Amino acid sequence: MAIADLIGTTVVAGILILMTIALTGSVSESTTQQMLDVTTQQALTTLKSMIEYDFRKMGFEAAPGTAITSMNTDSITFWAGIDTNNDNIVDGVNTIAYQLSDTSAASSTPNPDDRILYRTVGAAAPVAVALGVLSFDLQYFNDGGNVTANPIDVKTIRVSLTVQSTIPYDDTYSEAAWEKRISPRNL
């Protein structure tokens, strides 16, 4: 009887150990996925705050009708009076440009579809403000709400942005998207 009890106890202990290992693996997997989701959401939140700030300043202190100097579906250049050194004082009118790279610019990441969103202020070199951007789509509307290709007629811009994690978990990339219509006061 003692050997049967010992074997039974060993089997039960083994089952408990296997259940603990499985639970630990499940918790680890869930934690990793959650961490990638949070990181992707934070990247999107930071990026959307920057875009909203810059786009709302579009045309501020610029000559009327000259605010947007170039516009495309994935890039824009415009004049704006912004604070460039974080002292809460507008430093004068600068050009601000946003441009989405092609996928080859982000070839250092495991994600084959991600790109880099660049922001350029004035004559400074372009700065990579976001890695892991899948899409940065811009659509321009006039005061009647119709799509326009004429920079002088633009009153509202629809910004659509999708960001993915740069690394996968279990062959899946975490993804977050944002879309907003922005109507700068100075257009």
CB 152 within 8 A of CB 64: no
Cα torsion 144, 148, 154, 158 to 10°: value is 90
Residue 53's contacts (CB-CB under 8 Å, 6 or more residues apart) are 82
* Among 57, 132, 133, CA closest to 90: 57
Three-state secondary-structure class, residue 37? helix
Dist. CA 174–CA 162, nearest whole Å: 11
Cα–Cα–Cα angle for 101, 116, 94, nearest 5°?
A: 80
Q: Domain extents for the chain?
A: 30-182
Per-residue pLDDT of the chain in tens (187 residues, 90 and over written 9): 577 666 767 777 777 777 777 667 666 667 767 887 888 889 899 999 999 999 999 998 888 788 999 999 999 999 998 777 777 767 778 899 999 999 888 888 888 999 999 999 988 899 999 888 999 999 999 999 999 999 999 999 999 999 998 888 888 888 999 999 999 998 8
- Within 10 Å of residue 90's Cβ, how many Cβ atoms? 15
CB 74 within 8 A of CB 100: yes
Greatest Cα pair distance, the chain, in angstroms, is: 96
Strand (E) positions, 15-126?
A: 68-71, 75-81, 93-100, 115-121
| pTM across the whole model | 0.79
- Residue 138, beta-bridge partner list: 159
What percent helix, strand, coil does the chain show, rounded to 5?
35, 35, 35
